[in-house]
Every structure is written in C-alpha cells, then in structure tokens.
Structure 1
Amino acid sequence: MSNNAGRVAIVSGGSGGIGRASAERLGADGFSVVVHYAGGKDRAEETATAVARAGGRATVAGADVADEAAMAAVFDAADREFGGVDVVVHTAGIMPLAPVAQLDLETLDRILRTNVRGTFVVDQLAAQRVRDGGAIINFSTSVTRLQIPGYGAYAASKGAVEALTLILARELRGRDITVNAIAPGPTATPLFFEGKSQQAIDQIAALNPMGRLGTPEDITEAVAFLAGPARWVNGQVLYVNGGAA
C-alpha cells in the first residue's frame, strides 16, 4: 500500500461491475479514488464507501463521458479533493447487441458516442492532466477476437478503443505514462447478463477452458497490475479472459 500512498485514480463507470471492483481494489492498494458515474449516484456513493472500507479515500463525480466539459469537471474534482491524477481507469461503456443487418442506426450512434467519443474525451483529458509516472487504462473486449454474432457494433467500437490506446501510448513518449487496454472475456456483470437467458449464459461459461465466467475481481488483478508495478507494459492490449480463444 505504501508505494501508492498519495496516488490518485479516476475510475469511470465506477458505480457497478468492473468499475466498482476496480475502485475497491485500488482503494485497498492505497489509492485515493474519484468514482465517476453516469446515472447511478447512489451506487457510486456505495462504491466510495467500499473504497474507504478497503483503506482508500474516495469521492464521487457524475458526468456524461462523451461531454468534454462535464468530464473535465471530474478531473477538476480529483485536483480539488486529492491534488491531481496519476491513474485513469476507463471502464464506462454500453453494449447493445443485434446482428449487423438488424441494428438500429440510432443505437449505433449511441454506441459510438459512448464507447468511442467517450474514450477519446477521457483519454484526451488524461493525456493533458495525468501526472508523469502515471497510467491510462482503457477497456476493450475479447469479442474483437472471438467474433461472436450480434456483437458487431460493440466490437467495432472497441476496435477503435484499441487503436486509440496504442497510438496514445506512443504520443506520450518521454513522460513515463503507460497506456494500455484490458480486453476482458465474458465477465459476470450486469452489463453481460442483460438480455441473456440462463441457458445462453451457461453455454458461454462452458466454452471457457476454466469452465466459468470471469468475475470483476479477476479483471481487477490486471487493473492493479497496470496501475502499479507494470511500468514496462506499455502500448498493449491485455486479454484477461481465462484462455478464451
């Protein structure tokens, strides 16, 4: 914990799922955490309480990730409450599913706004404001490799996230800031369970060599690694999926 004393993280999408688990883990590792939320303030407050219980300090800040002024205020909150930003963990995203032939284009626009523009906004602010020696951690998906029907728009948006991640890592040359993306496989979160039957969930879990879905805590092992000791891992997409092809 002492190695991270005084370090500050912003976790987008921190009100639930992988975001909440990441905030709690970073709190346990000694970080002060700004828990970002889009609509779930009460759940974000619960996350902040959990971070404090784990040993960290926390505050909450709400914003639309695709709104640059609103997200700048989240970074301002980190400055005001904790004195700066060292790590940004950007988990916020949406995952509407439909075959390409049937996807409503308004839904596509919403996916691109949140997942692509939102990541660009957060990364742009992070590139400007994360302190030297810090880390930027984006979230992609193993579906970019698994090519599961119905995930076309979501996977396309995350392909854009990967491209942005790899280029930003090289643009920040000389500042000792790492930029990586974590690409989880199927993980037991509300986002994953939404719209799936129990049979479909069981089938997906059975496909994994480990014989189960991932958990948010499985993913946060990678978050903690990239946020802390992984100073020589940079410009990478890290697949955290239990061995999914």
Structure 2
Amino acid sequence: MSKINLKDKVVLIAGGGKNLGGLISKTFATDGAKIAIHYNSGKSKAESQKTLDAVRASGGDGFIYQADLTKIENITKLFDETISRYGGIDIAINTAGMVLKKPFMETTEKDYDQMFDINSKIAYFFIKEAGQKLNNNGKICTIVTSLLAAYTGLYSTYAGAKAPVEHFTRMASKEFGTRGISVTAVGPGPMDTPFFYGQESKEAVEYHKSASALGGLTQIEDIVPLVKFLVTDGWWITGQTIFANGGYTTR
C-alpha cells in the first residue's frame, strides 16, 4: 500500500488539548489533518485554546469541544459534532486518563468507581462509538500504560482500570476489521508531564527515571511518532498493545 497521507483526514482526539494529546493535535495539524480537540473541564480550556491556536497558526483546521466523557451520551455528541462539521471521521485517538497512586487497603469505593469510569468506561464506549461512526479504513488508538507489564503495588486502580483496554482493543479489532478499521493501544512509560508528577514523591520520580534501560522518563515527543505510525502506515498492526517506554517494562 502507498504511504498514507494525513492531509484532509479528520482526527478526533479525546484529551487533545494538552500534554500528549495536545502534541498529537499540533503534529497532525501540521500534516494537514482537521482536528477535533476534546477537553474535559473548564480547567483545561485555556490550554486547549492555545493548542487550537497553534493548530490554526500552522495552517490547520480544528475546533475545541468540552465534555465529561464519563457521561456516555457526551461521547456520542462529540463524535456527532465532529461529523456535522467535517462530514466524517477517519482517526479516533483517546488519550484520556487519570492516575491514582494509593495503597490497596486505603482505596475507597469512590476511588474505584472514578478510576474505572475514566480509564475503562470511557475507553470502551469511545471505541464503540468510533466503530459505529468512523469512515471505512479508519484507525482507533487508545493510550494505556506500561504498568500493565509491571510487577508493583500502589497503582491497583490505575493499572487495573487500564488493563481491560487491551481486551477491548483485541476484540474491537476483530469485529471492525471487515471495514478495514485497525484498533491499537500504546502503553507509554511514566511521562514527563504534570499528569505524572501529581502523585509521585521526589524519591519515586528518581526511581522511575532510573528504571528504564535507556534512562529517564518517557517524553511525549517519543510517543507521538508511534501513534502517528499506527494510524497511518502502520495500519496493518491491529489488536495489539505496543509498549513504548525505553525499557521500563517489557513482555
């Protein structure tokens, strides 16, 4: 197959306003894609607007859309709004997530429900909506975590809630494959973003830096090219979770 071009492709990115999602938005826009940038709450609006401004400054087209995706009807509205603006969707990428580092014995039911709503429920229904509404030969990618291959404590609800996404990815790829839709997941190592530092002590940060074979934390710049590959020329990879972490964990 000839090289897949992002020019005029419509890309919907959950959590696309900042951090990894923001860089994906800006990078894909420079390649000519039209970008639907989702953000969760008003706290992220200003940064998401900056991302949209950067998209437009690069000559790209896009819009921002605020929604709490734990309310499943909002996932439907996000997809429908994108289709109403651009006529269809070619690529759907879900970067939404939440980390909780907490001992098993201190975890509450509220903690559990929140973590599974954000990390698992959103992922499931995002993939479902994409499967229903993506154009033929579309691409779906979800960001998970390299903790899925780790032997550790304290992240039971985070890693536990991301773990089902591997199964969602495999089964969706099998069901959607007849339409040429590939479905993948990417598991970064601990990323050097505010998303990571909020629950880590200085000592834990130093440990995570030392744990990768190549040294240091994962940079969002290390992940964007992989995501781009999977939703373009790497479309033949489907149903798989790819760990990109500098040797932080392996399988």
> What interval of TM-score do these two structures reach, taking the shorter chain for normalisation?
over 0.9
Question: What residue is the counterpart of 2:195 in the other structure?
Answer: 191
Q: 1:10 aligns with which of 9, 12, 23?
A: 12
Counterpart mapping for 1:78-227 below 5 A: 78-227=82-231
Q: Counterpart amino acid of 2:117?
A: R
Q: What TM-score does the superposition give when structure 2 sets the normalisation length? A: 0.93
Instruction: Output the CA distance in 2 between the equivalents of 1:146 and 1:43.
Output: 32
Question: What residue is the counterpart of 2:81 in the other structure?
Answer: 77
Alignment pair present for 1:58 and 2:62: yes
Instruction: Output the CA distance in 2 between the equivalents of 1:192 and 1:75.
Output: 28
Question: Cα distance, 1:63 vs. partner?
Answer: 1.1
Question: Cα distance, 1:2 vs. partner?
Answer: 8.5
* 1:132 counterpart SS class: coil
Question: What residue is the counterpart of 2:50 in the other structure?
Answer: 46
Q: What TM-score does the superposition give when structure 1 sets the normalisation length? A: 0.95
C-alpha distance 41-72 of structure 1, shift in aligned 2 (>3 A): same
Question: 1:33-66 CA distances to partner (integer Å, 9 max, x unpaired)?
Answer: 1000111222211111122233421101111112
| Number of aligned residue pairs | 245
Question: What residue is the counterpart of 1:240 in the other structure?
Answer: 244
Unaligned runs of 5+ in 1: none
Instruction: Output the CA distance in 2 between the equivalents of 1:106 and 1:20.
Output: 29
Instruction: Output the CA distance in 1 between the equivalents of 2:58 and 2:100.
Output: 33
* 2:36 counterpart SS class: strand
The 4+ residue runs of structure 1 with deviation greater than 4 A are none
Instruction: Output the CA distance in 1 between the equivalents of 2:186 and 2:58.
Output: 23
- Does the 8 A contact of 1:49 with 1:58 survive in 2? no
* 2:32 counterpart SS class: coil
C-alpha distance 2-153 of structure 1, shift in aligned 2 (>3 A): closer
Unaligned runs of 5+ in 2: none
CA RMSD of aligned residues (A): 1.5
